[in-house]
Amino acid sequence: MLDIRSLSKKFGSGDSAFQALKSIDITIEEGEFFTLLGPSGCGKTTLLRLIAGFEQPSGGQLVLDGKDIATIPPNHRPVNTVFQSYALFPHMTVAQNVAFGLEARGTNPAEIAPRVDEILEIVQMAHLRDRKSSQMSGGQQQRVALARALAPRPRILLLDEPLSALDLKLRKQMQFELKRLQRELGLTFIFVTHDQDEALTMSDRIAVMDGGTLQQVADPRTLYDHPANRFVAEFIGEANFLSGTVAGGKLSLSGQAPVPLPHGADASGPVTVMIRPEQVVVGSAGGNAVTLDGQIEALVFSGTDTHVTLRLENGDTLSLRAPNNSHATTTFAEGEPLRVALPVDALRLLPEDIANAA
């Protein structure tokens, strides 16, 4: 278990100082596939480098198995890294690369060869063990980088955007394989990415970061269904934002008749309301729902559904996905009016977030 406690990192000093991380608290469980997700410059790579030991924290603790490892140099930490650039040693063969961590740590030579064979078998690179890294494709280099980091049996494996250099098809395949490998080994993975699809499909839990702070830490479903704020809602998937007012336990949206608050929601005064495009219903919905009228501004056919951009009467736009399982969507035309319903239980009330309001 890795306990990150009030970890902060400041680069530089004085006026040019840059606060890359502002007091991060996360507990990463044993055997978890944990992802740090965020746009570039959000601090995710800095956090990973702090865990690896390449950077020293400005404050806080990194507690691994009850011991603060924040001041231990990288070569003595039981964590290994798969680098974005792979950083394979070009003058060594695949097998020599994989053996490096074991040799550097002074593992008994008799144990190194079997371990190298075993790990190359796991990543399916045994047949290329005598190749040099310059003679391999990106996907192969990636497997070797993975094998090299796994060979010394780290307590935690750190992966710094390892799939970003691969083409789409290979990336999908490697996502699947990484996840399978992580399950089979039961090893804790800390994975850094800016790709939300990658994060959603692979992770047990995701920490969404922005501006050096944690926005939300949750499993993929919770992040998508119950984003903590506007930034998370926008970064993960697509979202519509509408402004409303809560008064007397009722929500008024775009001048429509007040409806009861969604289940479990609690607020008063002006609020930002979020709804995912696929939750918007064409026509009117049964039960509690807000009905809105608008004009179709754009239509994009995408096979299973039709993406509709609707211009509402108050000037806001609303995007929705109308499934193509009936003939209803064939009657849609740009410029035509359309009535939609927003089921109350699909609405999410978000706190007003000044920093991300723009």
Q: Which residues bind other proteins (CB under 8 A)?
A: 52-54, 73-76, 80-81, 83, 85, 87-91, 93, 100-101, 103-105, 132, 148-149, 152
CA distance linking residue 39 with residue 24, whole number of Å: 17
Closest distance of CB 172 from other proteins, Å: 26
* Residue 85 region by backbone torsions, left for phi larger than 0, else alpha for psi between -120 and 50, else beta: alpha
Closest distance of CB 74 from other proteins, Å: 5
Closest distance of CB 16 from other proteins, Å: 15
Distances 81 to 4, 53, 300 between C-alpha atoms, Å? 18, 10, 42
Distances 120 to 33, 96, 302 between C-alpha atoms, Å? 22, 11, 42
Closest distance of CB 100 from other proteins, Å: 5
CA distance linking residue 175 with residue 201, whole number of Å: 8
Distances 36 to 11, 82, 88, 276, 278 between C-alpha atoms, Å? 20, 15, 24, 23, 26
Of 225, 221, 188, 187, the residue nearest 206 (C-alpha): 221
Q: Which is nearer to other proteins, 74 or 139 (CB)?
A: 74
Distances 44 to 22, 72, 111, 211, 356 between C-alpha atoms, Å? 12, 20, 36, 10, 18
- 274 phi and psi angles, rounded to 5 deg: -115, 140
Q: Which is nearer to other proteins, 88 or 344 (CB)?
A: 88
Q: Which is nearer to other proteins, 156 or 338 (CB)?
A: 156
Collapsing DSSP states into helix, strand and coil, what is residue 100? Answer: helix
| R_g of the chain computed on alpha carbons | 25
Q: Which residue has the tokens 């994009």?
A: 300
Closest distance of CB 104 from other proteins, Å: 4
Q: Which is nearer to other proteins, 163 or 282 (CB)?
A: 163
Closest distance of CB 106 from other proteins, Å: 8
Q: Which is nearer to other proteins, 75 or 325 (CB)?
A: 75
Q: Which is nearer to other proteins, 48 or 320 (CB)?
A: 48
Closest distance of CB 32 from other proteins, Å: 21
Q: Which residue has the tokens 């359309």?
A: 338
Closest distance of CB 333 from other proteins, Å: 55
Q: Which is nearer to other proteins, 91 or 339 (CB)?
A: 91
Q: Which is nearer to other proteins, 90 or 114 (CB)?
A: 90
Residue 258 has a CB neighbour count (10 Å cut-off) of 16
